[in-house]
Structure 1
């Protein structure tokens, strides 16, 4: 994995601790456990659907897969119509288990979703994370957006940590190193645990709190009231809000 070019600490420990305190003020510990369990259940189903020893996912299964991921949920029907069931199912299987290194597999998957560039930016990393959580970590634009240099990860890492790189795989590696360091920090206070999904929940909460802060500064109280409460907002970001995701 490529090192993050910084001479100092990766994690802004004070910021991380402040977010942990704010999360605990807004969420019950049972909410955090439920979100972590929801991600684990979703990952189990994704891993089964994309397993190399079973047929490629069909229409209903692909519909569920796309609806269960935040980047693709609203464009599920358009993606299926444009790409096709066979091509999309093959592309997902090849992404996780196909030949070639990570960069080649992601590039092939991106080409399959050429008409949906924003979905192609996030979806491959989410599918990889869900299918192989022991090997791949989550990376979405709400976590780190290299174009705007914003996201939850930027809020809990030191200012001199460079998360972007010339290519997407190199950026992914830098994000992964930073995630591992943040995970170690929040695990030390028994927030994230040792599993692969606690850090996802933590960063979704961080981004949710950031959104509320920005809305309070920029928008009226009446408009802010239409934004979901923090648990619901985090579940939307993580793709576990809607019932059919966990009960397909």
Structure 2
């Protein structure tokens, strides 16, 4: 699907998105969701303070650990990453990903393919979080809870039309296609107020995290016992965790 040639309604399932948010607002207050949107801005400010063009060259290992500690899937993997890849090598790879001259698809592929000793999904999460939270007006978030192409699960397929094609031959190509879909979701979300929990794409980050949480609760209720359901985090905490902003103030 070439998104330049289609309308928003051909991409976004607005009714589904609204239904998910209705369920989410039964489990969290508007103030709680808006607080998550603010925490995403705070996370972005942290990333930008370390990874901006002027300061990334002098980023320390402690700074690197602060950044990695705010990425949900790899938050406890900083030592493993440093040991397997080397700090200077990682810093250079991050610099090229964020500020290289090649098209974003190529830079994304290069970064994901070159990081060692963590699984591919974590490498994808690493790349997209660096891009999105350093340049939130330019790049978007793609994590496996947003869309897992191997399992065809995640929040994004639940709020776009069934015929929207998110697949590509490379991870960079998938990142581009996910971004095209998210831009449409973001436009509709702010117009219809279901992405109003944060500014810009941060509101859509919260929306997608809420969709994921509601979906998870539904699946767990069907498959698991009530006793196990009780140990699941409540929606505000679960969304904050997957977005990497739970206990954000702790470094």
TM-score (ref. length: structure 2): 0.91
Note if contact 2:147-2:155 (Cα within 8 Å) is conserved in structure 1.
yes
SS of the counterpart of 1:74?
Answer: coil
Stretches of structure 2 that go unaligned for 5 or more consecutive residues are none
1:237–1:21 CA distance, 2 compared to 1 (3 A): same
Alpha carbons 2:109, 2:171 under 8 Å: kept:
no
Deviations 1:175-233 (A, max 9, x none): 11211222222212323235220000010010001001000000111111111111100
CA contact (8 A) 1:38 1:246 kept: no
Residue 227 (1) aligns with residue 237 (2)? no
Decide whether aligned partners of structure 1 residues 5 and 215 sit closer, same or farther in structure 2, where only a CA change above 3 A counts: farther
Q: 1:165 aligns with which of 152, 168, 192?
A: 168
CA RMSD of aligned residues (A): 2.0
Query: Is residue 57–residue 89 contact of structure 1 (8 Å, CA) maintained in 2?
Result: yes
Please report how far the alpha carbon of residue 247 of structure 1 lies from its aligned counterpart in structure 2 after TM superposition. 4.5
Match of 2:220 in 1: 215
2:30 pairs with 1:29: yes
* Cα displacement (A) at 1:101: 2.1
Change beyond 3 A, Cα 1:92–1:159: same
CA contact (8 A) 2:121 2:144 kept: no
Where structure 1 has 5 or more consecutive residues not aligned to the other structure, the ranges are: none
1:61 to 55, 63, 68: 63
* Residues 130-184 of structure 1: per-residue CA shift (max 9 Å, x gap): 1111110111110011111111011111111111122222222221121122222
In structure 2, relative to structure 1, the CA distance for the partners of 1:105 and 1:147 (3 Å cut) is same
Question: Which residue is 1:130 aligned to?
Answer: 133
* Aligned 8 A contact 1:51 1:93 in 2: no
C-alpha distance in 1 between matches for 2:15 and 2:83:
47
CA distance in structure 1 between the partners assigned to 2:109 and 2:163 by the alignment: 29
Change (3 A) 1:69 1:100: same
- Return 105-114 or 219-228, whichever deviates more: 105-114
2:12 aligns to what? 11
